[in-house]
Chains A and B, each alone.
Chain A
Amino acid sequence: MSAKVETLSAEELLKTKKRSQSADVWKRLKRSKTAVLGIVLIAMFLGMALFAPVIADYEGEALKLNVKERLEGPSANHIFGTDEFGRDIFARVVYGTRISLFVGIISVSIALSIGGFLGAIAGYYGGKIDNAIMRVLDVILAVPTILLAITIVASLGASMMNLMIAVGISNIPGFARIVRASVLSVKDQEFIEAAKAIGAKDHIIIMKHVLPNSMAPIIVYATLKVATAIMATASLSFIGLGVQPPTPEWGSMLAGGRAYIRDQMYIVMYPGLAIVLTVLSLNLIGDGLRDALDPKLK
């Protein structure tokens, strides 16, 4: 009877400790003005992505060709103006948010799951397995990320799906390295030894004990990588290797507007600003998180 009470309270103790840890990080994150700015900005873009249908009409404004109103400057009717096909640039920027965030998050998820898996195995088992995995990844790392992504899309064909695969694959080595390093930093600690001693299986130890305790750098890295993935998406679409027109994607909007910059510079202004602000907000949050999670800066 008394033993039962004791375990309960220990569990409770663990819970409160966990909660206070993330609350602690949140408190420190909120102290950074730049991180808060990043959070506000990204919340705005997430809101735009979620409520895009409320803000603008996809078929009617973002896609429908309207030759009569082509290349109109910003006005009350079209606050960002219209593009070379008479489509409303504001509506296209709003719907572009969906594409950019979606592609960014999915490609990072691909990289995180495959790279994380490889990195965790390499770090946990060490030795020959580690060596084999890391040497193969070194080869992938020897090709600059964006060039590898371009190569993959060039061979698979340009589409949104292939773009996500390409950006995802080219980011695998980075995630593998960071997860491996995190695993190495915790795997020799006593609680892992304790888990081994009570006979826990390897995959349980990795999933339940190693990874949760090495999450901090991985979260920071993933946040920053969503930013670069969004940038890569826009870059590839700009050179015609990403999301294909007429889908409203920021990079391909810039490619389309390029021919008209002499007289209609607003065409390239707003999609570009959207990219800068999204990427900036994620970078601000990433930086803020890194400081908030760093025990040295407590």
Chain B
Amino acid sequence: MSKYILRRLMLMIPVLIGVTFLVYFIISLTPGDPAAMILGNGATEEAVVQLREDMGLNDPVIVQYGNYMKDLFTGDMGTSYSTGKAVSGEIGQRFPNTFKLTVSAIILSVLISIPIGVVSATRQYSLFDNVGMIVALVGISMPSFWVGLILIIAFSLNLGWFPSGGMDGIMSLILPAFTLAIASTASITRTTRSSMLEVIRQDYIDTAKAKGVSANVVIRKHALKNALIPAITVIGLEFGVLLGGAVLTETVFSWPGIGRLMVESIQRKDTPMVLGCIIVFAVAFSLVNLLIDILYSFIDPRIKANYK
């Protein structure tokens, strides 16, 4: 087992190097001279040239990337162009908020979607199933930022139950977490349903039923356990969608996370901050997928057996 985890961790390294390089390269295409931007309009030509040299902006991109990575390993992500503070400090402060939001959303989606998916599958083509699947499809088709606005109108401006934005206690978490959860709830429901449908047609389900195992136990122990694997894959993939959705949801609800930080930094042309945010997002996404892969081996003994 530990061999498997180690192998997976090793495989992650080249991907992470690739990701950081890709992102660094894309961001380095940004037009404009950061040195001139930092120094402002009054700066002399010489000062700009000097700063460019000091910042290493005259080096080839690959050298700049190397230096960036060297610093990154010591936890240094550079300094913000607009505030002059350390990027890592700002991100460190904001990251827990994004973490809180996305984890609440994923827990919410799993709690709603798995039971609905299971019931839909066991009662295929029933009213519950039909309505459930239509609602799920509509859920996938709704942009999160729009849902957020509608929820603000309904529950905050009209009913006054929740605050319309900001981060202040558990009440302020509910609307953004729900907004963020909608799309992933819908797609996890659909996947759970279709994989359950496949599993309950297997012979071993008939065998279990024939043995006289109660319908409940058959669904829970024999069917759901096997149907969970595709569902978990989707949960991992949905986490990526969720991180992207966090950018929008945080913007709508003025949630002080790294998604909003990234949007603000893009508007301020604060390149090191944008770079830091996107790298944190990508690393978080890779880690979650690693976690999911490890989770598989706990759920599916066949995978574990491969690495004994």
Contact = CB atoms under 8 A, between A and B. Distances in A.
A64 interface: no
B6 interface: no
Given A143-B281, A144-B241, A235-B143, A155 B138 contact: no
Interface residues of B, number: 47
A265 interface: yes
B149 A155 contact: no
Contacts of B142: 275-276, 279
Contact of A238 (B18, B241, B248): B248
Contacts of B150: 268, 272
Contacts of A276: 138, 141-143, 146
Contacts of B144: 235
Contact of B149 (A34, A254, A277, A287): A254
Contacts of A239: 247-248, 251, 263
Given A241-B266, A276-B142, A151 B149 contact: no
A155 B27 contact: yes
Nearest to A234: B143
Interface residues of A, number: 43
Contacts of B255: none
B81 interface: no
A234 B149 CA distance: 14
A156 B19 CA distance: 18
B19 A139 contact: yes
Contacts of A146: 241, 244-245, 247
B146 A268 contact: yes
Given A139-B15, A157-B31, A151 B143 contact: no
Given A139-B22, A150-B247, A276-B146, A144 B153 contact: no
A245 B138 CA distance: 28
B146 A154 contact: no
B285 interface: yes
Contacts of B262: 150
Contacts, number: 129
Contact of B18 (A142, A157, A235, A279): A142
A276 to B, nearest CB: 5
A6 B278 CA distance: 63
B153 to A, nearest CB: 5
A279 B149 CA distance: 18
A286 B224 CA distance: 27
A262 B141 contact: no
A122 to B, nearest CB: 17
B137 A139 contact: no
B18 A145 contact: no
Contact of B278 (A135, A147, A156, A279): A147
Given A139-B22, A239-B248, 7 more contacts: A147-B278, A152-B26, A154-B30, A234-B143, A258-B252, A283-B137, A287-B137
12 contacts: A139-B19, A144-B281, A145-B240, A151-B27, A154-B266, A238-B145, A239-B247, A251-B143, A275-B143, A276-B146, A277-B141, A279-B140
